[in-house]
Amino acid sequence: MRLQLTAQDNGIWRSPDGITWTNITPIGWPSDYSRIVSAVSPSNANIVYFLAETPGFGTNGHSLWKYTYVSGNGAGPGGLWENRSANLPDEDGKTGNAKFDSQISYNLVAAVHPLDPNVLFIGGVNLYRSNNAFATAGSYVRIGGYFNKDTYARYPNNHPDHHALVPDPVNPLVMYNGNDGGVFKTVNCLADSVLWTPLNNGYYTTQFYTVATDPGTLGDVTVMGGMQDNGTWISSSQNEFAPWEEVSGGDGGFCAIGSGGNVGYISFYGGTTYRFTNTTGGRIDPSGGNNYLFISPYTLDAVDDNIMYFAAGQSVWRNSNLSGIPMGSTNPTSVNWSIIANAGPGVSVTALATSTHPANVLYFGTTLGGIFRVAGANAGTPISANVSSGKGMPTSAYVSSIAVDPYDANKVLVAFSNYSIQSVFQTSDGGGSWQNVSGNLEEFPNGSGNGPSVRWVAMLPDTEKYYYFAATSTGLYATRDFAGTSTVWTRESSLGTAVVDMLSIRSVDGFVTVGTHGSGVFSAFINVVAPPEPPAPPSEVPATIAVSPNYPNPFNPGTSILIKVSRPMPVRALIVDLAGREIATIYDGTMAVDAPAVTWDGRDSRGVHVASGVYIVVAQSANRQSARKIMVLR
């Protein structure tokens, strides 16, 4: 008997030859179903089990039916159906663990013992065996996944989320299991307590979402990484055979190592974040955070790693003193957290990066392609300015990464991860203008075609020329020269075409770490000569900037705005709306102490008169800024 499921017609179909098909769907089969998997009994091919995700039907949205072929085409009286859905695991305990769960069909598998058609194995998040094929309630044992229904601790030498079950064709007691932790083997699948042996020795399957290194310790090779469904692990050796140490389980998210390596940060899907030392740890994500991305970004301040910037939905939160959060809690906290920026309704913050010289400039990107600049982000209530709108950047695109030049906060590299768009842009004036530097990463100059998805960008300073990196769906690329759309990116041959999700770079000694999605982690020291530190501004006159009241106010059609500086300095003055969107640039240059007032004619960057309402003048210089509300009255 041959059996096959099709997507062209609903239900379950049977064919004796692969040409002629008969619909054998049983009466009572759920009208709404997603994925179906089948398991044919090797010892009696007339018996087949069907396990399906059936939202709203069965046990926890899942159904199990047994089919026995009798005669003819197998339909009607030619086949016997038994609905055993009510006997699937349905216990009280941990969410996503106690009840049978396939995570929306992500992990769903079934297999029948080679010698006994009544011994059925099924897998979702967890792995179960029933010696009567779930004919009665409670007739099963857990043999993999999580240890029991009341904990998220893993079953010994096994892992949740099951995708494959293969009985050994020679020894019926031996079974192989493929899950999100790799490949595992048991020599007695019928034991009361099944014992597993991992077979992952030298088989690199780890899928790194993120990697982090110590930013301040020269020569240190410690790497920490968050992985899909395999937690967060840490290694202090470049020896590929040296074991890593597990820090936490679950889906590992963004992580960070404080300068000096004495403090670490880990996170899980949905924004849950912990701070830890060698002796203690505690949860630190903000108690008011919500609408997190599955893998939600955060970053430590590049100058003061006791400050964190944290994305939660449309908001950017700042923690001004991480060490002030009490350790030991497993709950979110309000200690030292405040919201400093918003991307707008229905938008999520996707990328964050901070500056070194000058300090305290934060850039963040969004799900709709917005790039925002926040000067003086480390204190007070800073103003965010949209520095991408109307400047030839992709719209409604996903900002996957932002890299800030550690020697010049105005030089920024941005990546968009969508396919069929221009992917990489660069600015040298803090977002005043942008240049497309995607080059040969795109099949066609307009971004269409078969170019890769760019997941991360980074830069490594060198006195001769910078190294620029792009982590993509087809490998790691690098260039040392930007030439607009003619930029030539070269793939790093040692990594091949592995999907690369993130890079971590320590610019002081050229330590580069690459996290791949399925091929492990790579690291290397690149021989660079760090450029000299930028000169400090004169210390005899403190640098200050202030926006004075405009005149007239309210106004129509124009107004004068006096910006006062304590000494000559680069100044960029913007008009932004109350949502932080940049409307116009009214000054961009070096401002003298006695500079005349700047005028604004009430027009946006396109020359169109703005509507009546309240707007904000934002004057920025290095890590300082001043703002004042003004009113247009038409």
Is residue 424 within 8 A of residue 397, CB to CB? The reply is no
Task: Write down the pLDDT at residue 358.
Answer: 92
**What pLDDT, on the 0 to 100 scale, is given for residue 580?**
84
Indicate the SS3 state at residue 631.
strand
Q: Is the dihedral of CA 420, 470, 317, 252 positive or negative?
A: positive
pLDDT tops 80 at residue 98: yes
CATH level 3 topology of 253-499: Methylamine Dehydrogenase; Chain H (2.130.10)
How far is the C-alpha of 258 from the C-alpha of 215, rounded, in Å? 7
* Tokens of residue 550, six digits: 């405009």
Q: 116 pLDDT exceeds 50?
A: yes
Amino acid present at 265: Y
Q: Which amino acid is at 92?
A: D
CB 570 within 8 A of CB 590: yes
585: three-class secondary structure by DSSP: strand
Residue 289: which residues within 8 A CB-CB, separation 6 or more?
271, 310, 312, 313, 315, 317, 332
CA 527, 529, 530, 531 torsion-angle sign = negative
Q: Where are the domains of the chain?
A: 2-198, 253-499, 545-632
Q: pLDDT tens across 331-363, in order?
A: 999 999 999 999 999 999 999 999 999 999 999
pLDDT at residue number 4: 45
Percent of the chain with pLDDT over 90: 83
- Residue whose token pair is 């769903």: 108
Regarding predicted confidence, which is higher, 626 or 316?
Answer: 316
What pLDDT does residue 634 have?
86
CATH topology for 2-198 is: Methylamine Dehydrogenase; Chain H (2.130.10)
The mean per-residue pLDDT over the stretch 566-581 comes to: 88
Q: How many Cβ atoms from other residues are within 10 Å of residue 134's Cβ?
A: 27
Helix (H, G, I), strand (E, B) or coil at 146: strand
At 537 the pLDDT is 56
For residues 119-140, average pLDDT: 98
**Which residue, among 358, 348, 237, 265, has the nearest Cα to 303 in the 3D structure?**
358
Mean pLDDT of 72-99: 96
> In this structure, what token pair is assigned to residue 130?
């029933």
Count CB neighbours of 199 within 10 A.
14
283-286 LR contacts (CB < 8 Å, sep 24+): 283/329, 283/330, 283/331, 283/332, 283/333, 284/308, 284/319, 284/322, 284/325, 284/333, 285/310, 285/312, 285/332, 285/333, 286/310, 286/312, 286/317, 286/319, 286/332, 286/333, 286/334, 286/337
Q: What is the pLDDT of residue 553?
A: 94
pLDDT band at 569 (very low <50, low <70, confident <90, very high): confident
pLDDT tens digits for range 141-160: 999 999 999 998 999 999 99
Q: Do domains 2-198 and 253-499 have the same CATH topology?
A: yes
Using the predicted structure, report yes or no on whether residue 43 has a pLDDT greater than 80: yes
Question: What is the number of residues in the chain?
Answer: 634
Per-residue pLDDT for 532 more than 80? yes
Q: List phi, psi (to 5°) of 493.
A: -65, -30
Listed residue (553, 573, 554, 555) closest to 563, CA to CA: 573
Q: Label residue 137 exposed, middle or buried (CB < 10 Å: 0-12, 13-18, 19+).
A: exposed
Min mean pLDDT across 275-284, 334-343, 562-571 is at 562-571
Listed residue (377, 368, 376, 375) closest to 350, CA to CA: 368
Give the pLDDT of residue 165: 97
The enclosing H or E element of 377 equals: none
Mean per-residue pLDDT of the chain: 93
Best CA proximity match to 515, nearest among 159, 244, 200, 153: 244
Provide, rounded to the nearest whole percent, the portion of the chain with pLDDT above 70. Answer: 97
pLDDT band at 1 (very low <50, low <70, confident <90, very high): very low
Identity of the amino acid at 57: F
Q: How confident is the model at residue 598 (pLDDT cuts 50, 70, 90)?
A: very high
**pLDDT value for 542:** 76
pLDDT of residue 567: 84
Q: Cis ω on the peptide bond leading into residue 461 (within 30° of 0)?
A: no
Q: What pLDDT is stored for residue 2 in this prediction?
A: 40
- Fold classification of 545-632 (topology level): Immunoglobulin-like (2.60.40)
> Hunting for tokens 């995570």 — which residue is that?
103
Q: What integer is the mean pLDDT of 405-422?
A: 96
| Identity of the amino acid at 365 | G
Residue type, 429: D
pLDDT of residue 278: 86
- pLDDT digit string, tens, across residues 2-39: 444 444 578 999 999 999 999 999 999 998 899 999 99
Which one-letter amino acid corresponds to residue 63? S
CB 526, CB 535: distance < 8 Å? no
Residue 166: closest CA among 147, 180, 140, 185: 185
- The pLDDT tens digits for 466-488 are 999 999 999 999 999 999 999 99
Band (pLDDT 50/70/90 cuts) for residue 530 is confident
Q: HEC states along 520-578? A: CEEEEECCCCCCCCCCCCCCCCCCCEEECCCECCCECCCEEECEEECCCEEEEEEEECC
In the DSSP assignment, the letter for residue 439 is G
Cα dist from 60 to 98, 134, 139, 161, whole Å = 10, 15, 17, 16
- As a whole number, mean pLDDT of residues 435-443 equals 97
**How many whole angstroms separate alpha carbon 586 and alpha carbon 571?**
10
Residues 6+ apart with CB under 8 A from 493: none
Q: What is the pLDDT of residue 6?
A: 46
pLDDT at position 539 is: 55
CA distance 161 to 249: 13
pTM of the entire predicted model:
0.79
What pLDDT score was predicted for residue 269? Answer: 86
With beta carbons less than 8 A apart as the criterion, state whether 248 and 274 touch.
yes
Report residue 373 as tokens: 């600049």
Average pLDDT value for residue range 254-276: 94
